[in-house]
Chains A and B, each alone.
Chain A
């Protein structure tokens, strides 16, 4: 959003001035670029020109759907939009541009990637001349304002002549985005960075969160001092990733963590879902016929940064290897069963049935009571 405003300001400042003819009296052409962009918007929410000057509008459609561009007399936007909506069967052939004296200039419907130019002389009468996409349904939100004036413009944030979505906004409130208060733990299936597209983000508490990959059936990373910023992911079409808020402190890079039945190959996995125990998700997946429960919980000491994983594995026929990434000296990794050989925790068939692995950040313990 911020970018759009900057762009708008730049366009506004860089009005390319070209002297057309030495004979014309101060005859200048204001070249204005307007793009139709995703989200039923013009990238340029407004611009200003002096009364009676020539203006050249370069209109490009960078969106995925068709749009036109219609300049109207002050206060006539809604009327023109209504006329366009009521063109019925003849709408498409008229480019959804109704015949009206309230229209001062227009560019026909452009398909995606289309580009067209229109030149006209700005009215001599000062005023706010709307421009709008009259493609059915678009006109109520997709518009902007041509200020024909020599004065300064009102602040963008309070300019009622541009769509609400393009006025500067204050910080998003910190309150819950849901119809219920947000209590820990918090779970979101979402698109996460450095994860497969079937991501699951969990905030264990206000200190520690982790990302789990339901496609690969594995833990991806843990971070501290925050959870997610879903603003962009939740906006419109869902193109953007959820953003990690805070600092990642453990991110193993050794691939799928289990080796079963004496094989050193990465086994095939199948995600079965999760159930909630005290609201924490306990993931269930299959490695061939072997069923794994992976239950990630906060450490007992609330002042420590870290977590532990309780594994329950059934139908195990042989030994089990669990691989942790011990390359980070700041993370202490330990287990209540089995034997470590470097990154590999070796477990017997019996030990594999139920064991815990602890991940604790060392050196950065925040002490209680300070």
Chain B
């Protein structure tokens, strides 16, 4: 199925391959359909051997077009790894807690660390950077440990996004800070007393120009841009975040953590914590995906999109996100409703040997997903792992789309229809997380939702579920009975799916 789709695409994309593809298609059809191998153990995870002496707390990974990996680590190293030879070399050192790296080419890399976004240049091409050029340091640092900086993530048009953590009241600030100090930004559990803490910024890497892009973040440790230029950022449960979230971020908007408003035009001199919560609630943009806390995620990290063209299994175009506290990743099924992004989420690559602390994930050019681990005194891990698809198709919910009366689910494999059509095999509940200053939130108004009717979709790959009563502002948690299987009896891999319903589908 996927092979065919892919081939169809390539026919359209590349006329030169037309005949070749045709021959291939014919050969696939003639040899009585290629067998799809089913199996929920569809991924293989192997450890990457890190060099002796390295404290392998990973801050960033990225790949050069030739397949070599660039990785930065907690004690300031930027190293290059060649998967072919399994050898490591040193590109740069002495940086302050680098948490993101982006190679422009093998001689020039951008790295985000505590003090600045730095361009590392190997001017004499001996394999080591000899120029550490400041791209931008036009944001504040108070000395508070929690002011981590993330990025740079290319925006698709030559510029980059970076994001700036709030400070934490787990510690104070220093006598000397960099950047303007505003005392009204000092109160709160997470605070923003120096410029643009809690903001996402756009950087012009050529001239260093820094544009405040969006505000309201707490700990935005994950930036991704999709094919169309859409910006997505993860944020971590805590004060003002009842649970961890993925935001679809648009310029000029506010995403809910008030401390950053200290640096918003027109808010000068206002302690944002004095703004009434209902007003903040109206001002804010909601999370596109809510990750139920400590069930799916405690600290979501790097999102990536699967643009591997099928090299990584059946989830092409979907989003995968790293997570610190669990030994799985997250797979996000985005759904556009009324022009807004929302959608569903499930664990990904569970029980396949993946360890915790997946702070960074990145694609190698050959379509494998590498994971870099960290813990930093919280839950997590160390080291690096490579995740590869082994060709099997797991039995999973492929997409979950909101309909006017419920949800449409499609699956990666044809469904065994008898169990799939029994409404008793689906149980729904809904709950919400409260927006408040307090740290985290329990699940409020946990309510079972009655399933009225289940019907197969036309192609047999999916079902429509009609619910008794759909309301917005809730997470809908769907539990599939384990009797739901593929036609070949492969059990459903992830039985629980979490859909964030911000908007009802009207049309």
Report which A residues bind B (CB closer than 8 A): 38-40, 64-66, 88-89, 91-93, 96, 111-112, 135-138, 141, 175-180, 186-191, 195-198, 214-215, 230, 234-239, 271-276, 281
Assembly CA distance A30 to B90 (angstroms): 55
Contact with A along B106-118 (1 / 0, CB 8 A): 0000000111101
Does B170 contact A189, Cβ atoms closer than 8 Å? no
Tally of A-B Cβ pairs under 8 angstroms: 154
A-B pairs with beta carbons under 8 Å apart, 9 shown: A112-B439, A197-B177, A198-B115, A215-B137, A236-B377, A237-B146, A238-B97, A275-B130, A276-B131
Does B379 contact A195, Cβ atoms closer than 8 Å? no
Does A274 contact B132, Cβ atoms closer than 8 Å? yes
The segment from B10-18, B69-77, B392-400 found at the interface with A is: B69-77
Q: B168 — nearest CB in chain A belongs to which residue? A: A64
Most B CB contacts (10 A, CB to CB) among A38, A236, A273, A274 go to A273
Residues of A with C-beta under 8 A to B145: 237-239
Most B CB contacts (10 A, CB to CB) among A40, A238, A272 go to A238
Does A179 contact B376, Cβ atoms closer than 8 Å? no
Of A65, A88, A178, A215, which one neighbours B75 at CB under 8 angstroms? A178
Assembly CA distance A270 to B385 (angstroms): 40
**Does B491 make an interface contact (CB < 8 A)?**
no
Does B295 contact A65, Cβ atoms closer than 8 Å? no
Does A89 contact B292, Cβ atoms closer than 8 Å? yes
Does A179 contact B90, Cβ atoms closer than 8 Å? yes
User: Nearest 3 CB-CB pairs, A to B?
Assistant: A236-B377, A189-B96, A215-B178
Q: A135 — nearest CB in chain B belongs to which residue? A: B294
Assembly CA distance A180 to B93 (angstroms): 10
Other contacts beyond A93-B443, A188-B76: 9, CB < 8 A: A40-B378, A64-B170, A96-B294, A180-B90, A189-B76, A196-B174, A197-B178, A198-B116, A234-B74
Residues of A with C-beta under 8 A to B251: none
Of B94, B170, B178, B293, which one neighbours A198 at CB under 8 angstroms? B178
Q: How far is the CB of B372 from chain A (nearest CB, A)?
A: 15
The segment from B46-54, B277-285, B363-371, B480-488 found at the interface with A is: B46-54
Of B93, B115, B379, which one neighbours A187 at CB under 8 angstroms? B93
Contact with A along B437-468 (1 / 0, CB 8 A): 01110110010000000000000000000000
Assembly CA distance A239 to B326 (angstroms): 25
Of A40, A89, A91, A138, which one neighbours B377 at CB under 8 angstroms? A40
**Does B388 make an interface contact (CB < 8 A)?**
no
**Does B171 make an interface contact (CB < 8 A)?**
yes
Q: A90 — nearest CB in chain B belongs to which residue? A: B295
Residues of A with C-beta under 8 A to B130: 275-276
**Does B153 make an interface contact (CB < 8 A)?**
no
Of B53, B178, B479, which one neighbours A177 at CB under 8 angstroms? B53
Assembly CA distance A161 to B131 (angstroms): 49
Residues of A with C-beta under 8 A to B417: none
Q: How far is the CB of B258 from chain A (nearest CB, A)?
A: 18
Instruction: Give the residues from 151 to 177 in chain B that come closer than 8 angstroms, CB to CB, to chain A.
Output: 168, 170-171, 174, 176-177
Residues of A with C-beta under 8 A to B443: 92-93
Does B95 contact A189, Cβ atoms closer than 8 Å? yes
Contact (A273, B132) CB under 8 Å given A187-B94, A198-B116? yes
Does B142 contact A197, Cβ atoms closer than 8 Å? yes
Q: Is the interface of A mostly helix, strand, loop or mixed?
A: loop
Of A186, A187, A271, which one neighbours B137 at CB under 8 angstroms? A271
Does A179 contact B439, Cβ atoms closer than 8 Å? no
Does A197 contact B94, Cβ atoms closer than 8 Å? no
Q: How far is the CB of A228 from chain B (nearest CB, A)?
A: 11
**Does B273 make an interface contact (CB < 8 A)?**
no
Q: How far is the CB of A248 from chain B (nearest CB, A)?
A: 17
Residues of B with C-beta under 8 A to A176: 53
Of B53, B177, B298, B442, which one neighbours A137 at CB under 8 angstroms? B298
Contact (A189, B114) CB under 8 Å given A215-B178, A235-B377? yes
Assembly CA distance A39 to B77 (angstroms): 23
Does A179 contact B79, Cβ atoms closer than 8 Å? yes
Does B97 contact A273, Cβ atoms closer than 8 Å? no
Assembly CA distance A40 to B479 (angstroms): 32
Assembly CA distance A230 to B130 (angstroms): 24
Assembly CA distance A295 to B269 (angstroms): 41
Contact (A234, B134) CB under 8 Å given A198-B116, A198-B141? no
Assembly CA distance A180 to B74 (angstroms): 15
**Does B88 make an interface contact (CB < 8 A)?**
yes
Of A138, A179, A189, A275, which one neighbours B94 at CB under 8 angstroms? A189
Residues of A with C-beta under 8 A to B326: 136-137
Does B170 contact A92, Cβ atoms closer than 8 Å? no
**Does B496 make an interface contact (CB < 8 A)?**
yes
Q: How far is the CB of A133 from chain B (nearest CB, A)?
A: 11
Assembly CA distance A178 to B438 (angstroms): 41
Assembly CA distance A112 to B170 (angstroms): 11
Does B132 contact A137, Cβ atoms closer than 8 Å? no
Does A197 contact B377, Cβ atoms closer than 8 Å? no
Does B75 contact A234, Cβ atoms closer than 8 Å? yes
Residues of A with C-beta under 8 A to B90: 179-180
Q: How far is the CB of B26 from chain A (nearest CB, A)?
A: 48
Most A CB contacts (10 A, CB to CB) among B90, B143, B479 go to B143
**Does B245 make an interface contact (CB < 8 A)?**
no
Residues of A with C-beta under 8 A to B95: 189
Does A189 contact B379, Cβ atoms closer than 8 Å? no
Does B439 contact A111, Cβ atoms closer than 8 Å? yes
Residues of A with C-beta under 8 A to B132: 273-276, 281
Does A197 contact B141, Cβ atoms closer than 8 Å? yes
